[in-house]
Chain A
Amino acid sequence: MPETMIEAHGLTKSYGERSAPVRVLDGIGLQVPRAGVFALLGPNGAGKTTTVRILATLTTADSGTAHVAGYDVVADRRRVRRAISLTGQFAAVDETQTGEENLRMTARLTGLSRTRARQRAEELLARFDLTDAGRRQVRTYSGGMRRRLDLAAGLVGSPEPGVFFLDEPTTGLDPRSRRELWTVVRDLADRGATVLLTTQYLEEADQLADRIAVLDGGRIVAEGSPETLKARVPGHRLDLVLTGKEAYLRLATRAVHHSPGTLTLGLPTDGTAAHVRALLDEIDPHRTDVDRFSVHSASLDDVFLALTGATTEPTEAPDHV
Chain B
Amino acid sequence: MSDAPGILTHAAVMTGRSLRISRRNIDAVITSLMLPVMLMLIFVYFFGGAIDTGTAYDSYVMYVVPGVLLLCAGFGSATTAVAVSEDMKGGIIDRFRSLDVGGTPVLAGHVAASTVRNLVSTTLVFGVALLIGFRPAASLGGWIAALGVLLAYIVALSWISAAIGLLARTPEAAGGFTFFMSFLPYPSSAFVPVDSMPGWLHGFADHQPVTPAVEALRGLLLAQPVGNAPWVALAWAAGILTVAVGLSGVLFKVRTA
Contacts and interface: CB of A to CB of B under 8 A. Distances in A.
Decide whether A and B assemble into one complex: yes
Interface of A: 56-60, 78, 81-82, 84-86, 88-94, 96-97, 101, 105-106, 108-113, 116, 137, 150, 153-154, 157, 159
Contact of A92 (B1, B10, B20, B94): B94
A82 B100 contact: yes
Interface in B94-119: 94-101
19 contacts: A58-B256, A78-B100, A88-B91, A88-B94, A91-B90, A92-B91, A93-B95, A96-B24, A97-B20, A97-B21, A101-B20, A105-B16, A106-B99, A108-B5, A109-B10, A109-B101, A150-B91, A153-B95, A157-B99
A96 B99 contact: no
Q: DSSP majority for the B interface?
A: helix
B3 A111 contact: yes
A76 to B, nearest CB: 12
A153 B91 CA distance: 12
Contacts of A109: 5, 9-10, 13, 96, 99, 101
B165 to A, nearest CB: 16
A110 B99 contact: yes
Contacts of A108: 5, 9, 13
A201 B91 CA distance: 22
B100 A91 contact: no
Q: Which of B90, B98, B256 has the most CB of A within 10 A?
A: B98
Interface of B: 1-5, 9-10, 13, 16-17, 20-21, 24-25, 90-92, 94-101, 256-257
B91 A58 contact: no
Contacts of A91: 90-91
Given A96-B24, A97-B17, A109-B10, A58 B5 contact: no
A86 B2 contact: no
Nearest to B23: A96
Contacts of B16: 105
Contact of B20 (A58, A84, A96): A96
Contacts of A88: 91, 94-95
A97 B17 CA distance: 8
Nearest to B87: A94
A91 B92 CA distance: 7
Contacts of B98: 56-58, 81, 84-86
Q: Name, among B20, B25, B92, the residue most crowded by chain A CB atoms within 10 Å (CB to CB).
A: B92
A94 B99 contact: no
A150 B92 CA distance: 10
Contacts of A97: 17, 20-21
Contacts of A56: 98
Contacts of B91: 88-92, 150
